[in-house]
Amino acid sequence: MLLWSALAILVVLLCWRYRDWLRTFAGRSRIPTRAHNPSPTQMFGLDVAPESLPSDVAGEAERLWSENPRAALALLYRGLLSILLHEFRLPLKTAHTEGEVLAAVHRLAQPQLVRFAECVTQHWQRQAYGHQDADETVRDRLCAEWRALFSTARPT
């Protein structure tokens, strides 16, 4: 009796463990659809929803830079994340690190975007984690590159 009970429990556990596989191959003949995971609205503590960004991100970053360089860099970085999520449709998750985000940008194979993303990320990390302010030349370079990349038509 004990042996039959153990066997029954083992069969139930195996069915439970491989229930997705069983549903796919032993269930109906239709292909299951995977649920669409919505894009995150926050990454690295930054709001990356498109509606949270100003219409002129570079102009707002330039205005903020003199009074709060951290907020200006955060605006540029979250603007980049928002565009990567919502316009380039990169499947980023809140658990991704800055390095993983950069690896995803590299896979897009757009050299100008890669350079901009690396520069913004580097200065964002220095500011956020090392509390090192960037100077005005960095501001001018980042804002000019932002305008060059994102002020024209974007991919849909």
pLDDT tens track of the chain, all 156 residues?
Answer: 999 999 999 999 988 888 877 776 665 555 555 555 566 666 776 777 788 888 889 999 999 988 988 889 989 988 888 888 888 888 878 787 888 889 989 998 899 999 999 999 999 889 888 888 888 898 899 999 999 998 754 443
Domain ranges within the chain, ordered by starting residue: 1-34, 42-150
Other C-beta atoms closer than 10 Å to the C-beta of 102 total 17
Is the pTM for the entire model greater than 0.85?
Answer: no
Phi and psi of 4, rounded to 5°?
A: -65, -35
Contacts (Cβ under 8 Å, ≥6 apart) of 73? 61, 120, 123, 124, 127, 128, 134
